């Protein structure tokens, strides 16, 4: 803090012979001259004083007749004297700070969250028609009007929110649930077995159940028919819908080597650097000639901060390489088994069984590889849709 004060008021560095130092210190003490720093050499001494005290030092040198030499001057007053006649520089500096502090009044970035089926380009086009675009004047954006008009025009959006933070417009949307796919492409559909199993139950929403509990079916067998015969209205064709549960059996096998490669990283190397200004990229540096064979690539984006602003439309993009070497490290049998069980848990969860009745697990170690085997007896919905078309005889 003291240094900043000296920089603001300005200071100078003086040099005096060592023999005159004691007299100079006594004079400064009597005259109230503040010395910021003293550095002694072999034959001379350098002192740092405020610009306001220079006249007192020169008066001391003149009365004592000593050799007091000025070395350099620093600080804001010196810069002002040096550049005060350069009008163009001051105008440019003023325009720069004015542009920086007025940047949050305009939209320079649009973030859209909640996208699933819709594209970002489609949403941005809807927003642009309502005035939310890159370069738009933020205070002129009527968020209520944007909300109403976008929902009125876009039937596939059920909710929208626009929040302005600095020069960024954060847009959140909720997509409307897609209507069920049209079923006019086929006359009807059956539910057939996606795999073999023993039937244990069914929940039929539409159609005629063609199996009963205890039946053993193979892949492709008819489970629920979409053809309904009625003595009053005749034959009807519809889309069968429901679930059919069956007992199924699955076998899993996981292999885990008893050695693993441990990576050791050695620093980082910059591959590419660019500056994003108002969404436009300016290349600063690019060098992909890296000698290391193995390396990971990391992409970084750093928004350039400025006092008083949340975010500037300036960002530094950097791509760096992290070279590494791989060292083999042995795994204990317990560690390998733990990894195998973790992977097995994930694979069983992906099957989405209705219930697991039993499981048997075993493992062996052969040629440095742990092999974990697991047999699962579970209940699964085996119903799959099979569409059909009816050919009418003429």
- Confidence band, pLDDT 50/70/90 cuts, at residue 32: confident
> Is the model's pLDDT at 180 over the cut of 60?
no
> Is the model's pLDDT at 317 over the cut of 50?
yes
What is the CATH classification number for the domain harbouring 47? 3.30.70.260
**Model pLDDT, residue 306:** 55
Q: How many domains does the chain have?
A: 5
DSSP strand pairing (269-277 vs 314-330): antiparallel
**3-state class (DSSP) for residue 143:** helix
**Model pLDDT, residue 222:** 94
DSSP 324-390: EEEEEEE--HHHHHHHHHHHHHHHHHHH--SEEEEEEEEEEEETTEEEEEEEEEEEEE-EEEEEE-P
Look up the domain containing 308 and give its range: 261-328
**Model pLDDT, residue 312:** 60
Asked whether residue 340 is domain-assigned, the answer is yes
d(CA 33, CA 11) in angstroms, rounded, equals 12
Instruction: Give me 38's structure tokens.
Output: 């003293």
State the pTM of this model. 0.50
53 and 15 share one domain: yes
Q: Which of 347, 346, 328, 333 is nearest to 256 (CA)?
A: 333
**Model pLDDT, residue 305:** 59
**Percentage of the chain surpassing pLDDT 90?**
27
Asked whether residue 91 is domain-assigned, the answer is no
234 and 273 share one domain: no
**Model pLDDT, residue 330:** 92
**Percentage of the chain surpassing pLDDT 70?**
91
Q: Which of 50, 81, 112 is the last residue of a domain?
A: 81
Highest mean pLDDT among 30-39, 227-236, 317-326: 317-326
- Calculate the dihedral angle through the C-alpha atoms of 189, 194, 198, 202, rounding to the nearest 10 degrees: -40
**Model pLDDT, residue 362:** 94
Asked whether residue 93 is domain-assigned, the answer is no
> Is the model's pLDDT at 288 over the cut of 80?
no
Place of tokens 């040198």: 61
Q: What is the mean pLDDT of residues 46-63?
A: 84
Q: What is the mean pLDDT of residues 69-77?
A: 83
Which phi-psi region, left, alpha or beta, contains residue 55 (left: φ > 0; alpha: ψ -120 to 50)? alpha
Asked whether residue 319 is domain-assigned, the answer is yes
């Amino acid at each position: 803090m003291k240094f900043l004060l000296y920089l603001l008021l300005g200071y100078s560095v003086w040099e005096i012979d060592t023999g005159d130092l004691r007299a100079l210190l006594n004079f400064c003490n009597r005259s109230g001259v503040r010395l910021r720093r003293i550095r002694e050499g072999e034959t001379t001494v350098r002192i740092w004083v405020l610009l306001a005290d220079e006249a007192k030092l020169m008066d001391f040198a003149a009365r004592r007749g000593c050799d007091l030499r000025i070395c350099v001057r620093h600080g804001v007053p010196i810069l002002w004297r040096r550049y005060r006649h350069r009008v163009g520089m001051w105008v440019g500096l003023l325009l720069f700070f004015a542009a920086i502090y007025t940047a949050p009044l305009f939209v320079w970035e649009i973030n859209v969250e909640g996208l699933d089926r819709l594209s970002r380009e489609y949403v941005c086009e809807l927003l642009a028609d309502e005035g939310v675009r890159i370069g738009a004047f933020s205070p002129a954006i009527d968020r209520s009007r944007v909300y109403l008009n976008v929902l009125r025009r876009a039937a596939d959006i059920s909710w929208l929110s626009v929040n302005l933070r600095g020069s960024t417009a954060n847009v959140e949307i909720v997509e409307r649930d897609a209507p069920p796919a049209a079923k006019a492409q086929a006359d009807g559909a059956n539910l057939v077995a996606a795999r073999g199993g023993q039937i244990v139950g069914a929940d039929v929403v539409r159609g005629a159940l063609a199996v009963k509990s205890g039946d053993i079916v193979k892949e492709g067998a008819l489970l629920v028919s979409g053809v309904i015969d009625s003595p009053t209205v005749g034959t009807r064709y519809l889309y069968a819908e429901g679930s059919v549960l069956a007992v199924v059996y699955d076998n899993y096998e996981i292999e885990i080597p008893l050695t693993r490669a441990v990576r050791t990283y050695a620093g980082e190397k910059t591959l590419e650097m660019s500056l994003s200004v108002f969404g436009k990229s300016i290349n600063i540096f690019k060098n992909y000639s890296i000698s290391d064979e193995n390396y990971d690539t990391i992409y970084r984006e750093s928004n350039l901060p400025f006092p008083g602003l949340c975010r500037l439309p300036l960002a530094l993009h950097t791509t760096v390489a992290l070279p590494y070497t791989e060292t083999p490290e042995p795994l204990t049998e317990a560690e390998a088994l733990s990894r195998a069980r973790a992977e097995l848990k994930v694979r069983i969860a992906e099957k989405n069984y209705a219930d697991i009745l039993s499981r048997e697990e075993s493992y062996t170690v052969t040629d440095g590889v742990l092999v974990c085997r697991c047999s699962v007896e579970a209940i699964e919905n085996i119903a799959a849709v099979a569409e059909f078309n009816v050919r009418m005889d003429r």
